[in-house]
Structure 1
Amino acid sequence: MPARALMVLAAMTGVVPEVAAGEADPAESAPTPDIVVVGERAALLRLPGSAAVISDEDMRRARIFNVNEALRTVPGLFPRDEEGLGLRPNIGIRGLNPVRSTKVLLLEDGIPLAFAPYGDNASYYHPPVERFSRIEVLKGAAQVRFGPQTIGGVVNYITPAAPAEWMARGTVTGGNRGNVSGDAMIGGPALGGRLLLHGTVRESDGFRANHRLRFSDLYLKGEWDLGETQTLTLRASRFAERSQVSYSGLTRAEFAADPRGNPFPNDRFDTERLSASLAHGITLGAAARLKTTAYYHYFDRDWWRQSSNSGQRPNDASDPACGGMANLLTACGNEGRLRRYHTAGVETRLTLDHDALGLGQGDSEVGVRYHRELQRRLQWNGDTPTARTPGTGVNGGVREDNVRKVEAFAAFAQSTVDLGAVTLQPGVRAELVRYDRRSNPIDVLAGGRPTGAKTGVTSGRAFVEAIVPGLGAVWRITDDVQLFAGVHRGFAPPRVEDIITAGGGSVDLEAEKSWNYEAGARFSRRGISGELTLFAMDFENQIIAASVAGGVGTTLTSAGRTQHRGAELALKLSSRDAGWTADTDIFARGQLTWVERARFSSTRIASVPCFDGASPGTAVETGRGTVACGVATDVRGNRLPYSPEWLGSLAVGVTHGPVTVQVEAQGQSRLFADDINLVPVTPDGQRGVVPGWVLFNAAVNWVLPGERVTLFATVKNIGNRLTIVDRARGILPGTPRLFQGGAQFAF
């Protein structure tokens, strides 16, 4: 291990740092062992940085269809749809590319949610949003408490506490496009503590033809008080998806003929995720609390598909038995991208109260983590469209077989120092990551042969270390108005394949690093609250796809220096809380994000494509004028791919007696799908401008007498507007008009 990182990790265990806003007061005898990122909405006023909380009430009023719809209500967030149910979320923050949420740290009750947050931080799984009681989003300097990603922000999903008294709740929902779901929760005192059991099943035809999404989720939470000073929390879950869903989008011609079409009916996506964690909390006198969490995740993913992007179509050039789309359902083979992940770790956090220690006002938190990941990656090429085993044809057999390991040590320290009207929050995080990769002899990607001939095992090892500092401050002008500012180091470790080649060599692709700045103001008084934030991110080496239109699995490369600048605004209003109305509540919430700048700021050479019969030298329209096709050009100053300039949402509603009605608008401005910023669409559909859009949703909730039954109905995309959400693998359409109705029962 590099000596500098070891010295920092050792030294930090003696630093006195900071407690998270919203955690239990030190005077409490038995603290919850949950790790809180933000806390309840009232805790936002204490944070020295931008943050947001999506409450259970917000989600119930809108009867959100998937997690993307909920996250669009948070300024700065750009969640992009894909298959329809939000099972593979694509979340971008402040102009960062949303693909597979690789620039975002996803947590559940403070525990890493991704199956490989260090070695492959891509989201191919997401639990049902019905499982959560609120969603926290943190974008400021305080995110150095978490990791490894500290670039875009932290999204923490909070599960409800196990109830002290027996309760039960069930929800059934049905709608068009084959949407049907059932959700149930039951909990109460049991086994000497409190238990909560939650289950969800859901099916949908998604947004395209030849799709059928199916998943089930079972979640168990148990809480025990071990005397007056200790608590124990057990979490366990199983998620399984068995879906007919394709990876490739549509070509330009296919989209024009049938925008919701899908020529690959035999593609399948199967997953299973098992997860367990055990968290222990103890109060150590009046001044200290210790929280320790151990976690383990198992994730198995098989995606059998005939095309990885709209240009492959499928294996036409390399599979002589295929011969084109005419033989798609008979002679054309497929590819099985098979992945298996084991992830485990243990983390300890010590919180100290400065006042109890005689150090003045404030809190501190210090933590250490040990984390391991094991990936087994296979690619089996089948000879037929429905094959689920390696074939024997020219392009059949095992094409990839390798094992990837990650071992990570992390430590952090963060303090809150109260200086009266001003509070400072310094913090620092250290990360030390070791990568190992081994390719088996038959791995074609490592130089082997599909026949399985012995060519020798290849292996490689690499290290990444980082020191991630941060400093935030908040100035309480009054109890209702605060100014805040912060700066922190952004860090994201590379994937295993981005730092070690299949042959065991070094790619020399460093960790992604940036300096992130923000300053803003927030207020909250009598039913009216808001937050305005200015932000800037300066990247030394933002990592993007080497071929921006090459699909999610393409090789990554450094884009060099990039810049992000913009502003965020969030507002919330309740006439009842403001004292304007008594029996009726007129409410509104809105957010507006302006990413004024998200651009390449250093030299980057890219080739301008010629298409539709154009000769080299023909002028092609881009977002910054025209360029000649067939030549190389410097894209410095061009906008980064998948970074819309404007994002916004606005909801207005009224609650009168038992009825709540809400109307909502969500939208975004246009974006570019490639580094050239092409405006016309290429024939494969993978390059060209993505038009902006605004969609309108409506929801009605009616609580029946007795308040045990709630009926609801929703319409998403009322105008049935056709939108495009992605071009990376070909054109993917957005949400169609969806009608939903159902009932919720409480006991």
Structure 2
Amino acid sequence: MQHSLISLSILAALASSAVFAQEQKEDEANDKYTDRIRILGSSDKLRTLGGAASLIGELELESFEFDDINRVLSTVPGVNIREEDGYGLRPNIGLRGSTPERSKKITLMEDGVLIGPSPYSAPAAYYFPMISKMTAVEVFKGPAAIKYGPNTVSGAINLVTREIPEDFDMGIDLAYGSDNYTKAHAFHGETAGKWGYLVEGLLTQADGFKTIDNSDADTGFDKTDLMAKLKYDLSSTNTDQFIELKVSKTAETSNETYLGLSDDDFNQNPYRRYAASQVGLMDWDHDTIQLTHFIDFQSVDVTTRVYRHKFSRSWQKVKGFGNNAPSIQTVLLDPDASGNQDYYLRLSGQEDGKIVVGNNDRRYVSQGIQSDFGFKFNTAHIEHIIDAGIRVHQDEILRDHFEQDFNMLAGTMQNPQNKIFTTVDQEKSTTLALYIQDTIKLDNLTLTTGVRREYIKTHYQNRSDNANAKDDWLDKEFSIILPSVSAFYAMNNDWGLFAGVHQGFVPSSPKQNDVDVDAEKSVNYELGLRFAMQNTSGEFVTFFNDYSNLKESCSFSNASASQCPIDTDFNGGNVDVYGLEANLKHNFALTTDLELPIVFTYSYTHSAFKESFNSDFPQWGNITAGDEVPYMPNHQLSVLASIVHGQWQLNLLAKYTGEMQEAAGSGVELSDKVIEAHTTFDLSANYSLSAQHSLYAKIDNLTDEDHLVSRRPDGARPTKPRQGVIGYKFRF
């Protein structure tokens, strides 16, 4: 009997050991997969990463419950933003001084896959995923951009959706606030045997904070997002393997306009909208289907994703007054001028007359297949970590822009007529991208070298019924090799130095003849210090981006419609952008139960055109060497302070943004205008009722500042006024 008990004990121990080994093996496989869908993976990886990086995790996202990516990025150094609608519906984000217009100069991803509507053909991100459903936001600046492309000048942003849980999990988030703001968010998922699933739904809406002349219509938005994931485990004795399907459908209807205010009207009431803007309406739908296969052979892991995104949008908004009339921007800059008065009165509904309304109807497709490989090996006692990947990608945009003449009658836009198509074209890109990166570990030194190859084939076609349209087309091919090298040296367990250099690149538009306009190219350098101790961590980085050619393109969001043709590219020549980024975190333990964590973020950015030239691009004009690039504040500072005590937490975020120029040179509209420095405060509080139930409240723009954030596209526009929100959360 005793021998039987011993035998059973040994068998149980062996079984337990086998189970533990299998769980450990599965955990390692999950970690590898996580590193494929994320840029940074986990905060531990920041310690040896050769490049400046920021990870905003789920707990940080929940501390303020922001719906606006602009506010989420407040604690990330090196981010320059031009606000527009106050809600962050269509963000304008730049990194390290790159042009913020529609975030077109940065690589945008969701779960490691390109998420922009048409990232090669038309990279302006008129679609941006709903930040409220994300569990992490990752920002990378520097050499690692080589892995992600196509835009490698400034960096990448990766948004991470919720993973399928291993055990039963569900959550509910309900909130209500100012301007009839409403949020309803719920998810549920679990894994049973070899099958796992997740379903998630999110609804946000608000009536808006502006008032339209002669109208009681709201100026808000409605957004919905439905997502489902299904996973099947194919693992065997020698391999960990699974396949996962993700499908999502997102929609937005927003009563948004490009029509702003004159400076005088802004000063009197920044939340006013002219009567002409009552026709403003954005309506879009976005569909995603993505199939992921992951296999880990222990020595090599491979992640393959097949994806397809479809995005359809229609944006109706005031465009102008017709032929031989001044632009809207001209009228609003000086509405009392003799040639502008009648048009201003027409916009504000005080005088009858014709107003041209444009509808920018577009359809996008972005699809492809990409595989990422990772493996390790040792040679001569030197460890090599190889990351490599290949992506075949195709995207296109179909434009069917038209305009109609509306009549402003007694303060109401009426009787649309004379539907005329203005832009009917197609831009299409087929690309092959490859990268390989070798990370070598030599004692305290981690050295990473990499290279990216982009082969891009594009097609432009005018699709209008004009007799000569068939002759208006352009096919071109482009290939470039983009190298990078970075290093991290651990001085001890707490302190490390890092440095890197890489080639920056942004392709030109398919519509643009490369004989006249070059692709954007730069050589980017960085040098930094990183440390992490028990209660204190930080990162200090200096960077220098040496542009051999800064490229810009015309869009409705950065210029009045009459100022330049859509998607026209412009050369900016040699430009220097350099600066300092600092991020410092410290946790003050005031008592055994009371903590005061503080996050300090500072960015200094300076830019200078190195050559004098005259440009037709509306944000440049007549450039004199030394002029600064617009929408790039020299100084930005944010301080996040929290008080944590048991079941409750109080957070205060202060963000200072320095003065920004509206235009770089002289001789163009807004060349003498600046966006003045401003500071905003956001406050939030969280209280846990129990392990499953919690309450939260927040106040965005605590001091109710009504500062001006931009005069583009057409007139002055404000930040969001003070908004209060209360919410309830349940987590099983």
TM-score, normalised via structure 1 length: 0.84
More moved, 379-388 vs 733-742: 379-388
SS in 1 for 2:704: coil
Q: Deviations over 1:59-97 (max 9, x none)?
A: 222232411111111010123322232221111111222
Q: What code does the residue aligned with 2:74 have?
A: R
Which residue of 2 is the match for residue 515 of structure 1? Answer: 523
Counterpart in 2 of 1:708? 692
- Separation (CA, whole Å) in 1 of partners of 2:602 and 2:290: 37
Equivalent position to 1:346, from 369, 372, 387 = 369
In the alignment, which of 483, 489, 514 is matched to residue 475 of structure 1? 489
SS in 1 for 2:328: coil
The equivalent of 2:329 in structure 1 is 311
**2:63 aligned with 1:61:** yes
Once the two structures are superposed, residues 195-247 of structure 1 have per-residue CA deviations (whole angstroms, 9 ceiling, x without a partner) of: 11111111123453341211101111223221142122221111101111102
Distance in 2, matches of 1:686 and 1:170, equals 49
Residue type of the alignment partner of 1:298 = K
- The letter of the residue matching 2:643 is V
1:167-208: CA deviation from partner (whole Å, max 9, x where unpaired): 211111111123111111111126942111111111123453
Identity among equivalent pairs (%): 26
Equivalent residues of 2:65, 2:132 under 8 A apart: no
How many angstroms apart in 2 are the aligned matches of 1:60 and 1:607? 45
Give unmatched runs, 5+ long, in structure 1: 1-23, 443-447, 501-505, 610-622, 624-631
1:423 paired residue number: 446
**Structure 1 pair 713–388 and aligned structure 2 pair: CA distance change class (3 A):** same
Cα gap change, 1:289 to 1:328, in 2 (>3 Å): farther
**Worse-superposed segment, 381-390 or 199-208:** 381-390
- Alpha-carbon shift at residue 651 of structure 1 (Å): 1.0
Distance 1:633 1:434, change over 3 A: closer
Question: How many positions carry a matched residue from both structures?
Answer: 673
Greater CA drift, 539-548 or 718-727: 539-548
* Shift, 1:508, TM fit: 3.2
Deviates more, 1:543-552 or 1:456-465: 543-552
Question: Could you report, residue by residue, the CA deviation over 1:603-639 in whole angstroms, capped at 9, with x for unpaired residues?
Answer: 2236999xxxxxxxxxxxxx9xxxxxxxx95421011
Task: Quote the RMSD (CA, aligned, Å).
Answer: 3.1
Instruction: Write the deviation string for residues 710-743 of structure 1: whole angstroms up to 9, x where unpaired.
Output: 1111111111111111122121211211111111
Partner of 1:697: 682
Structure 2: how far apart are the matches of 1:234 and 1:130?
A: 21
Quick one: structure 1 residues 528 and 455, their matched pair in 2 at CA, closer, same or farther if it must change by over 3 Å? Answer: closer
Which has a greater percent of helix? 2
Listed as ranges, the matches of 1:484-563 within 5 Å are 484-497=498-511, 499-500=512-513, 508-545=516-553, 550-551=559-560, 553=566, 555-563=568-576
The equivalent residue for 2:210 is 208
Q: Which of 195, 201, 226 is the equivalent residue of 1:218?
A: 226
1:406 alignment counterpart: 429
How many Å separate the matches in 2 of 1:608 and 1:571? 39
Q: Is the 8 A contact 1:549 1:687 kept in 2?
A: no
Would the aligned equivalents of 1:381 and 1:390 in 2 still touch at CA under 8 Å?
no
Match in the other structure for 1:725: 709
Match of residue 674 from structure 1: 663
Q: Is the 8 A contact 1:185 1:199 kept in 2?
A: yes
* AA of the residue aligned to 1:377: R
Work out whether residues 407 and 415 of structure 2, in 8 Å CA contact, stay in contact via their aligned partners in 1: no
Deviations 1:448-480 (A, max 9, x none): 3xxxx6764532101222111000000011111
Deviation for aligned residue 1:542: 0.5
Tell me: CA distance 1:398–1:428, structure 2 relative to 1, closer, same or farther (3 Å). same
Contact 2:651 2:685 in 1 (8 A): yes
Q: Does structure 2 retain, via aligned residues, the 8 Å contact 1:328–1:385?
A: no
1:573 maps to amino acid = H
Closer, same or farther in 2 for the Cα pair 1:262/1:441, shift >3 Å? same
Residues 510, 385 of structure 1: CA spacing in aligned structure 2 closer, same or farther, 3 A cutoff?
A: farther
In the alignment, is residue 381 of structure 1 matched against residue 403 of structure 2? yes
Q: Could you tell me whether the CA contact under 8 Å between 2:536 and 2:585 is conserved in 1?
A: yes
Partner residue in 2 for 1:254: 265
CA–CA distance in 1 between the matches of 2:147 and 2:47? Answer: 19
Match of 1:176 in 2: 178
1:18 is matched with: none
Q: Does 1:746 align with 2:702?
A: no
Structure 2 residue ranges without an equivalent (≥5): 1-23, 213-218, 321-326, 333-337
Residue 587 of structure 1 pairs with residue 574 of structure 2? no
Q: Which moved more, 1:254-263 or 1:661-670?
A: 254-263
The CA distance in 2 between the partners of 1:307 and 1:477, in whole Å, is 59
- Label 1:690 to 1:137 Cα distance change in 2 as closer, same or farther (>3 A): same
Change in Cα spacing, 1:350 to 1:518, as seen in structure 2 (3 Å) is: same
Determine which of 392, 396, 399 is the counterpart of 1:370.
392
Equivalent residue number for residue 7 of structure 1 = none
Counterpart among 455, 459, 480 of residue 466 in structure 1: 480
How many angstroms apart in 2 are the aligned matches of 1:328 and 1:300? 35
Task: Tell me the secondary structure at the aligned position of residue 383 of structure 1.
Answer: strand
Distance between the aligned counterparts of 2:40 and 2:83, measured in 1?
Answer: 26
1:317 is displaced (CA, Å) by 10
String of CA shifts for 1:525-544, please: whole Å, max 9, x gaps. 11210000000001011113
Conservation of the 8 A alpha-carbon contact between 1:346 and 1:370: yes
Counterpart-to-counterpart distance in 2, 1:258 and 1:323: 17
The superposition leaves residues 568-588 of structure 1 with CA deviations (integer Å, 9 ceiling, x where unpaired) of 100112235xxx743222211
